[in-house]
Amino acid sequence: MKRLLTALAFLTILPLPVGPTREEEIRDSLAVFPLAGLVVGLLLALPAYFLPGPESKALGVLIANYLLTRGLHFDGLVDTLEALGGGFTPPRRREIMKDTHIGALGLLAGALFLLLKFHCLSALGAEGMVLGALTAPVFGRGAIAYLSFASHSCSPTGLGALFAQEKRWSTLLAAGATTALTLLWLPAPDYLILLALTLLLGELITRLADRAFGGITGDVLGFGLELTEVGTLLVLGVRG
């Protein structure tokens, strides 16, 4: 339970009684990130269920998601895309990524991504959107666990280093087991497709990060989460 509370306190704005946490505790909570994603998904399912109309539901889910997570992962997505588009060498891309100011390229990429995610949600319909709101956060946070295991950090400091410096099979297997909780509401074929998608995206992002930045960063982890969530919504839309 302590690991779950630590993960939720790190990933969301929920006021939880965890007190000061050490870096080791945050890293150990990686094993239950998908379970924390389930808690996030349950909260996102509320606007998906109660708001009227697919567009209102989709907008409600997006707003609730980024308020609940402080836009932490979306910020990583924007920073990563801007660095990929604005630099031609790994050092220059890392420099762009660290810049706290968002340029025109980052704003455009972020806006287009939000439109894509909104469309993916609204296309699911009323019942499908509840399923998507529950499922996407689980696989998105499972992607962070896989990226942390499969990649290395491009820097000795930061979130990338925190999660990638100690690679434990036990952490990856525990994250996989908590991701399997989605079998409670997903048909087995859908689960296997989404699991394969998560692993494939994780492998592609790992190779991209190695080539573009020299390894992963905290921003790349957020980038991976956001892409996996959209991929999950797309699969559910096609399978639905």
Digitized pLDDT (tens) for each residue of the chain, 240 residues in all? 889 999 999 999 998 888 778 888 889 999 999 999 999 999 999 999 999 999 999 999 999 999 999 999 999 999 999 999 988 899 999 999 988 888 889 999 999 999 999 999 999 998 899 999 999 999 999 999 999 999 989 888 888 888 888 788 888 899 999 898 887 889 989 999 999 999 999 999 999 999 999 999 999 999 999 999 999 999 999 987
CA distance 202 to 136: 15
Q: Are 224 and 231 in contact (CB under 8 A)?
A: no
Spatial CA neighbour of 224 closest among 14, 11, 73, 93: 73
Domain count, the chain: 1
CA distance 82 to 176: 31
Range of the domain at 131: 30-239
207 token code pair:
């190779």
Spatial CA neighbour of 202 closest among 185, 174, 225: 225
CA distance 164 to 167: 6
Asked if residue 4 is part of any domain, the answer here is: no
Asked if residue 51 is part of any domain, the answer here is: yes
- Say how far residue 118 (Cα) sits from the centre of its chain: 16
Asked if residue 65 is part of any domain, the answer here is: yes
Asked if residue 21 is part of any domain, the answer here is: no
Residues 6+ apart with CB under 8 A from 33: 7, 11, 141, 142, 144, 145, 175, 178
Residues 6+ apart with CB under 8 A from 210: 151, 152
